[in-house]
Amino acid sequence: MELAPDAPREVRCPTCRHDVCTTYRKKQIREERRAASEAGREALKKRIGADNVKFALEDAESEEWISKNAKSCPKCNTPIQKSDGCNKMVCTAKGCKTYFCWLFGKRLDSLKPYEHFLQAGNGACSGMLYTRIGPDGALQQVPQPYMAPDVNRMLQQAPPAGHVPPKR
């Protein structure tokens, strides 16, 4: 997962006033630590500080996990993790609330988000509301233990009373 295009990548050390690219630096620290002997690891801690090494490693691991397990909201680029359920997603970032398809990242109509899963063609995911991409890259149906008997009828209904779609 990449930083947003307008996100700052450089930070200035308040002590020495040196500018550092944080994206590159984390990767550099991780690779340097991996390749180092125990003595080299201790020297790295002394050179840049044990906390800085720890934080760089944790950040690099988090970024790697996010890039493998999350997808970006098509509106605000917030990383979203799906743990269960259908492929209709709602971004929970403050003020966003964008509906999108988990499989292909397409923004969905906020008034009729399930319509995407009923339409054929035009990039729609007809019949793939409960589908996932397996480890081999193939689409797989997911068991739906709590699925209503007539899902198509349910999906075509208007949103429940009190449902407020996000502002566009």
Q: Which residues are designated catalytic? A: 86
Residue 98 pairs in a beta bridge with none
Q: Calculate the CA 100 to chain-centre distance.
A: 12
Q: Which residue has the tokens 């292909």?
A: 104
How many other C-beta atoms lie within 10 A of the C-beta of residue 56?
22
Structure tokens at 86: 């259908």
Contact between 95 and 102 under an 8 Å Cβ cutoff? The reply is no
